[in-house]
Amino acid sequence: MKEKFYLTTAIAYPNSKPHMGHFLEFIEADALARFKKMKGYDTFLLTGTDEHGSKMVEKAKELHMTPQELADQNVPIYQQLKTSLDFDYTAFIRTTEERHIKTAQEIWMKIYDKGDIYKQQYKGLYCVGCEAFKTEKDLIDGKCPDHDKPPIFLEEENYFFRLSKYADLLIEKLESGELEVVPEFRKNEMINVIRGGLLDVSFSRPKTSLAWGIEVPNNSNHVMYVWCDALTNYLSGIGYSDNPKQFAQYWPADVHIIGKDISRFHALIWPAMLLSADLALPKKIFIHEFVTSKGKKMSKTMGNIVDPFVVMERYGSEALRFFLLKETVMGGDIDFTWPRFHNTYEAELVNGIGNLVNRVIVITQKYLVGRVPRVYKDKEIEQMIRQAWRDYEIFFDQYDFKTALESCLNLVYFSNRYITENAPWNLFKQDQEKFKQVIFILLEILANVALMLYPFIPRTSLKIQKALGVNMEKLTIPYGKVREGFRVEPIGILFPKLEDKSS
């Protein structure tokens, strides 16, 4: 039986179409899932939409729609990324689905029966953008630092979750690594938050304040607070209430991939909920940073929003996938500027990968009628390829997408230099045997490059694999080999030179 790997993205608010931050998370999750599939894992990737809460109500009101109509309008845009972005998720969960509602209510009752939910009058500050209650120390100049708006004051009777009860146990799980948070400094942040005093959290809103949500099962006058509702998608999406066999197969999650703005909810509230409900904890929480523009967080106020759909329209989805993964630095924001993006496209995709593929295939067709020459062993080259794969796997397992990609690109750089240094067009006239050795080595490296590119730019990877007769499903990963005598197919231009559209 294959070893399983269950990973999730954070579910998105469909109050608008996906932004660049969503794209980063979707691409990271997809790359990791594809890598695990290459390794032979039974991989399940869950994504979806979080359709309840006050943000949906406010946006719908602004557009003269119901929250459900707003969700139904925008959710297909997220779902269509399966094709347009090659975001190859296994399942898509909507929090308005019956299977999710049933799961959320069942988890509520498990926590309630444990004595961990109680009712209390609440007075405090609430940020609609975060869907979270705030303390004064969370604010900067009286405003939420993530949304640059002052929170509103609320006074209402809510149900609360006894988060404080699990403070010591959470520290134990975090410090022991049973619940791993990546990168390491984020784990330390979570531990410091707990040691600073972990407060109980609101778990419901009265319907008089917010009617759009999942009804509290033991009090029809309340709806579940958005995080109590949304976080349970990781259970409902794999069949907690409707497919127990599948749920048993995949839970606990191997990794939740989330943004840094929701790290506390996932690293503190979510594991405490699971502990209360007597469910296993996820193994890992990977926290990524933001995509900024010119060093600033993207916002309408700043006028620096970059629309990922515009990027794809101009350069294609593969270029966007490649850029975001290449620029991902553990613990650091990705700064998107049009000049930087264009330069990466031209240097790495046009002149790097695209140029290499074109040169090798054209030379093979011109001088060898497209046939792969006989197998030639070169221990140094073989060792270089194997080391590249070792590094590639190590860095992927550390969620260091940038360095994993560089392991592949180093083979590209080497190959382009190798062509220049050996000048095969001259060797063909001078030394036929040496010529065939050089071409075989180039084809062999290119086959491995094709496989290594699969998590990053899958369409391009599959084109190169097909041209070289390489099929990763029939090979022992991680080492791709070309077959003697195979007729290499023409592939055309993978990445055309484009006018600099960096403005």
Task: Give the whole-angstrom CA distance, residue 206 versus residue 224.
Answer: 9
What are the angstrom distances between the C-alpha of 470 and each of 186, 378, 385, 474?
A: 40, 20, 16, 8
Active site residue 144: yes
Active-site pick, 22, 55, 284, 463: 22
Return the SS3 of 335.
Answer: strand
Expressed in angstroms, the distance from the first to the final Cα of the chain is: 52
Active site residue 36: no
Active-site pick, 37, 130, 187, 266: 130
Active-site pick, 37, 187, 297, 463: 297
Comparing CA positions, the residue from 339, 325, 262, 264 lying closest to residue 291 is 325
Active site residue 2: no
Strand order in the sheet with 284-288: 91-94, 42-49, 4-9, 255-259, 284-288, 180-182
Identify whether the C-beta of residue 77 lies closer than 8 Å to the C-beta of residue 49.
Answer: no
Task: Give the whole-angstrom CA distance, residue 160 versus residue 368.
Answer: 73
Active site residue 256: no
Active site residue 130: yes
Q: Which residue has the tokens 């069949």?
A: 239
Identify whether the C-beta of residue 446 lies closer than 8 Å to the C-beta of residue 419.
Answer: no
Active site residue 408: no
Whether the CA torsion 146, 150, 155, 156 is positive or negative: it is negative
Active-site pick, 17, 110, 134, 147: 147
Task: Give the whole-angstrom CA distance, residue 453 versus residue 457.
Answer: 6
Helix count and strand count (H, E) for the chain: 21, 16
Q: Which residue has the tokens 């609360």?
A: 160
Active site residue 297: yes
* DSSP H stretches of helix in 316-431: 317-327, 338-344, 355-368, 379-397, 401-422, 424-430
Active-site pick, 4, 17, 19, 134: 19
- Could you count the other beta carbons within 10 Å of the beta carbon of residue 181? 22
Comparing CA positions, the residue from 268, 306, 156 lying closest to residue 223 is 156
Kindly give, in sequence order, each residue whose CB lies less than 8 Å from that of residue 477, ignoring residues fewer than 6 positions away.
38, 39, 40, 451
Task: Give the whole-angstrom CA distance, residue 168 versus residue 412.
Answer: 50
Task: Give the whole-angstrom CA distance, residue 365 versus residue 371.
Answer: 7
Task: Give the whole-angstrom CA distance, residue 140 versus residue 158.
Answer: 26
Active-site pick, 55, 127, 288, 408: 127
What are 485's two structure tokens? 């005598």
Active site residues: 19, 22, 127, 130, 144, 147, 297, 300
